[in-house]
Structure 1
Amino acid sequence: MVPLRIPSRWMISKNNFIEISTDEYTDDTYEHVLELDEDILQIVSQDNKRILDLGWYPSFNPNGQYKIMLVELVDVEHQAEKWDSPLFTCSSKSVSVIKDTIEYILQEVVEGRL
């Protein structure tokens, strides 16, 4: 797993974010192809009404890349989200860029800037 610094009061609801070299992903023979789908990581802050979601788009495609979305949680009780209007997005093939961006976003939310 990719080590992440996650501030308190965030809950991980899914984590399949592993340390891999996406530069080696050129075809279906890549050993981690099944880990590169739309559902890699999801972290929720009900206090701040935010969901951070990480996926690989398009799924199982060597031409894809990681995509982070931060969305507003508009109904905490029913987990209703605003996926059509994200508060923040970022895409990259680099695990380290994505890791650093996730940690930045989480801290920005905690400090009330996102």
Structure 2
Amino acid sequence: MSVQLVPLHIPSGWAILHNSFGDVDPVIEHGYIINGEFFNENLLSAKPIEFNGIDWVTVGDGYLLQLGWYPEYRPEGCYRLTVSQGSDDQKIVVKYESKEREEIRQVLQRCLGWVSRHVGIDEIGSLLEIEGKQIDKNPLGFRGVRKKIAGISGDKLNRLTYSQVGWWSPVYYEVCNMAYLDQKSNRIDYNGFTPENKMA
């Protein structure tokens, strides 16, 4: 089964030298990530390019943007995005780390845009510090309230009770599915909830 790469909007003026930034969760066995091709230290590399009158070439002393997972293949690791400057001895001028794929995607795109607009590297660091706190890490539906919902019901319950949610039953079931990793099938009989959907 092919794995889709994380969708990115690359501004003009950039060359993607390498990209294996997969839109996939780690698969862990025996304490290691076995789909390590998406969780190693070389996931994405990008450099600015310029037109030299004949062809587009990478800027020799320009920036280098790199993304990797550190330490590679380890479940406790995280994504690390760096922006380096210089041609021979690359000096890291910006570094950002997160375990959240969506968060690192947004930061990556911001960095690409800022460098394209010639924002100063010191300013990029300051902007990341400010905007990093505001980035939507979970853009889909109820993901952002997952922990809050789980906290309401307690760890031992497999379902929120209907009275705790107070919504129309299809919405209730959908919220329950999104709120727990260990989902149970949702079945309704003509009398209402089946026993597995009742409060424990």
**Distance across 1 between alignment mates of 2:92 and 2:28:** 28
**Distance across 2 between alignment mates of 1:107 and 1:98:** 14
1:71 and 1:81 in contact (8 A); partners too: no
TM-score (norm 1): 0.81
**Distance across 2 between alignment mates of 1:46 and 1:25:** 38
> Could you tell me how far 1:81 is from its partner in structure 2?
4.3
SS of aligned partner of 1:14: strand
Q: From the two aligned structures, give the one with the greater helix fraction.
A: 2
Q: 1:112 aligns with which of 102, 109, 118?
A: 118
TM-score (norm 2): 0.48
For structure 2, the 5+ residue unaligned runs are 51-58, 122-200
The one-letter code sitting in structure 2 at the alignment partner of 1:86 is: I
Q: Deviations over 1:4-54 (max 9, x none)?
A: 1111110001000011224x65733x5523421111100111446111000
**Bigger CA radius of gyration:** 2
**Distance across 1 between alignment mates of 2:72 and 2:13:** 30
1:11 and 1:44 in contact (8 A); partners too: yes
SS of aligned partner of 1:20: coil
Q: 2:20 aligns with which of 7, 16, 19?
A: 16
SS of aligned partner of 1:68: strand
**Distance across 1 between alignment mates of 2:10 and 2:75:** 29
2:20 and 2:37 in contact (8 A); partners too: no
Aligned to 1:43: 46
Answer yes or no: is 1:59 the counterpart of 2:72. yes
**Distance across 2 between alignment mates of 1:20 and 1:81:** 33
2:34 and 2:73 in contact (8 A); partners too: no
The one-letter code sitting in structure 1 at the alignment partner of 2:70 is: Y
Relative distance call for 1:100 and 1:56 in structure 2 (3 A) is same
Give the alignment's Cα RMSD to 1 decimal.
Answer: 1.9
Answer yes or no: is 1:98 the counterpart of 2:104. yes
SS of aligned partner of 1:87: strand
2:48 and 2:64 in contact (8 A); partners too: yes
SS of aligned partner of 1:112: coil
For structure 1, the 5+ residue unaligned runs are none
**Distance across 2 between alignment mates of 1:108 and 1:98:** 15
**Higher RCO (C-alpha 8 Å, min separation 6):** 1
